[in-house]
Amino acid sequence: MNFKSLAIKSLLLLSVSMMGACQSKTETQTPAPIEVEAPKTLQSFIESPLRDAEKARDQFRHPLETLEFFEVGPGKNVAEVWPGWYTNILAPYMAANDGTYTAILYSENMSERALARNAAFKEKFADTDTYGTIEYGAFGKDGGAILAPDSVDVILTFRNVHNWMGGGYVEQAFAEFYAALKPGGILGVVEHRLPESALQDPRGATGYVQESYMKALAKEAGFEFVESSEINANPRDTADHPMGVWTLPPRSAIPDEGSPEAVGFDAELYKNIGESDRATLKFRKPAAE
């Protein structure tokens, strides 16, 4: 082999060696796969250990179906009136999904008991790592605007309409919700349901309210009725119990001994009915023209 042939062979061997080195280097520098974070769904927060003490009532309150029906979703400002049971779902969910949870507490002109509940709520949900930064509003009779006008996407209220009827400010409630919602915003109402065939007490003393009455209140305030759902229906509830809705779980009230209501009273019967039959109604503030 002459010198020229030897030089060519050496160059070929060097090229093959360099190509192998480059390939090896490329293989070792391949980036690791990007881990995709699991979706932060409503269901994941419903299943959270934060709610271990509350999950027994899911069978009556159907939180996933209810919140989806009311169009709760990422990026929205969702306000709950006189909150509590839903906060362990809504606050962390909204914080994790670029949204805002607004707790509308009792107004400052209400009872000392109500103000104590406000303080207890703020203390319980003060952990911003878990619940995000909760915004606050206030609502009560003659308490003023609950929030800035046109500021929230969804307002939710659970089993409160009869309280406002009893206090004489149910019309005020719907009017203030209308003012606080953005055009196109949703008002979601869940309430113990009185059959249309029964006589509606205008004070809501039994805790039960007819769907037609709530629809009329919403319409008077300017809302459009969107639809109703049977998510929270309970056909076993006849809505005619000795102590109103509070005869049923979770209150399971018992009449005073010797009272007319105590005659033939069977606590187990009411326990087996479960929680109340509930109307689930969705209203919308008309979009701006």
* Residue 144: predicted pLDDT: 86
* Residue 38: predicted pLDDT: 57
CATH superfamily of 56-237+274-284: Vaccinia Virus protein VP39 (3.40.50.150)
- Residue ranges of the chain with per-residue pLDDT less than 70: 1-39, 289
* Residue 35: predicted pLDDT: 56
Q: 176, 207 in Cβ contact below 8 A?
A: no
Crossing angle of helices 211-221 and 170-180, rounded to 10°: 50
* Parts of the chain belonging to CATH 3.40.50.150: 56-237+274-284
* Residue 31: predicted pLDDT: 63
Distance between start and end Cα atoms, the chain: 92
* Residue 270: predicted pLDDT: 97
Alpha helices in 47-181 (DSSP H): 58-61, 63-69, 87-96, 112-124, 128-131, 161-167, 170-180
Q: Interior CA angle at 191 toward 243 and 140, to 5°?
A: 90
* Residue 32: predicted pLDDT: 62
* Residue 289: predicted pLDDT: 55
* Residue 33: predicted pLDDT: 60
* Residue 233: predicted pLDDT: 98
* Residue 288: predicted pLDDT: 76
Query: Radius of gyration of the chain from Cα atoms?
Result: 29
Reported pTM: 0.86
C-alpha to C-alpha distance for 287 and 279, rounded to whole angstroms: 25
